[in-house]
Chain A
């Protein structure tokens, strides 16, 4: 073997090995994160966490019941804001839009999707908190809802487009109007995909912290209705993690454990469903 060939073969092996190492590092990080969080988070988790209010520093036995309910309420508002607009917008893009206006809407949607979450928070702040002069669950839910819209549009559009044209043609050939065939044939056919898309979308905004900091703010107590500030799980993790108290750190780990478990469980289930049917989500 010539020296050159030996050199080339060595480079080949070394570089291929390096790419393998990169993969190992990237995948290893996830395993490490999960492992660490599970060990630290599950350790201090007890029933109080789910049923009690936060206690002052130094008192043990507190929980984050209000933050769990707060997060659920925020997500509920977000769904009311984000899903109808997102879903119907997706139907428009998949079924009705011409090419020019459709492109314009798609482009704007992607633009909105790229806006940093903290800027969406400022948006909700100027819309609701500034005129009302107080933080509220509504403002936080609105911020999360706006974040849901672009993904809801694009995933609905994609799953509707994946429905074969034959189905539409068949339905219309039987005399159904376009609206009727969309409602009774196309949407049911894309139902699973669209629902899974919504689940993934919810899992994504459930972990958002930045837009909530100055919209739903925080609350050490229960927050009735939607007009008052509320605690939320991700915001609690943030406040507790940067505080200087050890027992708060433990609580942060527990909250992180719960949040991550929920988010990952939704993602795993959704991806398994999607890999069985329909195209991969974007």
Chain B
């Protein structure tokens, strides 16, 4: 978070005479400026090119299907019918499930680490949890297939007994399912929620806590009613970042979601996600229409994550600036 002002003034003209420009050119200032400026501009170019490539390469299905691409649910490469609804549905459902599990876990742990745990223990645990964020997603997929799915199969009868009356927990359970994908995703996003939320909670001024405690609040009341509301926007931001990550997550979801392009109401049923279908079908996509449809899915995913990341950044920035002054 480098929010400090520019430390050294710009290399743009500060001198008075043309000779000073020549001198700076000789001393390398203008050259250094030009080289680094080009690098910075190339980031803009790369991002622009990325959008351009996604847009032009998905032209065929965009013209053929129009907006109906987003809400029709037939995905039949042989017949040349492409509707993205099952994938959008799967992406949204698995991410929502990940958030439902991940938010209480992540925010709870962040509160514990920021407010209750002694600094030493808090730092050590945060270190551990941030390592969890560095674990490659394909490893989560591996563990998802061989650990998570068997565990879920064991607790599935219990889930069915308690929640079986809702349509979400009905029908046969094969192991690989929307539920498994959601659970694996939740494990992946919790470290993000924890590490950012902990930081914004730590940035809350201690007056806020002390005032609540002085009024006779218990520790929990001061935390929940005084500290957490103050850090609310930052916590929301961390949740948005986690959401953006889980929407775009590919490997772990591909490995446990079941890969069936149909919309099922039950979490026990297999599904598909946008990223997973791109990963699975891209190399075998024959014909420009099929390939274009997959690239258009990439465009949809891109747009989704951009919007959510943008919102997250605004939220996190607005709190940390207020918090740290």
Contact = CB atoms under 8 A, between A and B. Distances in A.
Interface string A168-182: 100000000111101
Interface stretch (A48-56, A101-109, A189-197): A101-109
A49 to B, nearest CB: 16
Contacts of B248: 115-119
A116 B302 contact: yes
Contact of B298 (A89, A108, A122, A238): A122
A87 B104 CA distance: 38
Given A179-B27, A207-B138, A213-B283, A16 B116 contact: yes
Contacts of B37: 92, 96
Interface string B21-59: 000100111011101111111111011011001100100
A121 B275 CA distance: 11
B10 A149 contact: no
Contact of A108 (B1, B44, B106, B190): B44
Contacts of B302: 115-116, 119
Contacts of A268: 131
Contact of B8 (A22, A104, A105, A178): A178
Nearest to A101: B40
Contact of A180 (B10, B28, B109): B28
Given A115-B302, A180-B28, A210-B250, A25 B105 contact: yes
What band does the interface of chain A fall in when counting residues whose beta carbon is under 8 Å from B?
35 or more
B35 A88 contact: yes
A31 to B, nearest CB: 8
A203 B134 contact: yes
Interface string A242-269: 1000000100110010011001100110
A150 B187 contact: no
Q: Which one of A121, A204, A210, A237 has the greatest number of beta carbons of chain B within 10 Å?
A: A210
Query: Which applies to chain B's interface (DSSP): helix, strand, loop or mixed?
Result: helix
Contact of A98 (B6, B27, B111): B6
B187 A242 contact: no
Interface stretch (A58-66, A157-165, A220-228): A157-165
Interface string B132-154: 10111111011101110000000
Nearest to B276: A118
A57 interface: no
B2 A161 contact: yes
A145 to B, nearest CB: 10
Contact of A19 (B40, B112, B279, B294): B112
A111 B6 contact: no
A275 B292 CA distance: 47
Nearest to A177: B27
Given A36-B147, A256-B142, A112 B46 contact: yes
B239 to A, nearest CB: 15
B305 A115 contact: yes
B139 A30 contact: no
Q: Give the most central of A21, A93, A123, A252: most B CB within 10 Å.
A: A123
9 contacts: A26-B106, A30-B131, A89-B36, A118-B279, A149-B43, A210-B137, A241-B142, A242-B255, A264-B131
Lowest 8 A-B CB distances belong to which pairs?
A: A207-B136, A116-B248, A22-B108, A177-B27, A92-B36, A88-B39, A114-B309, A179-B28
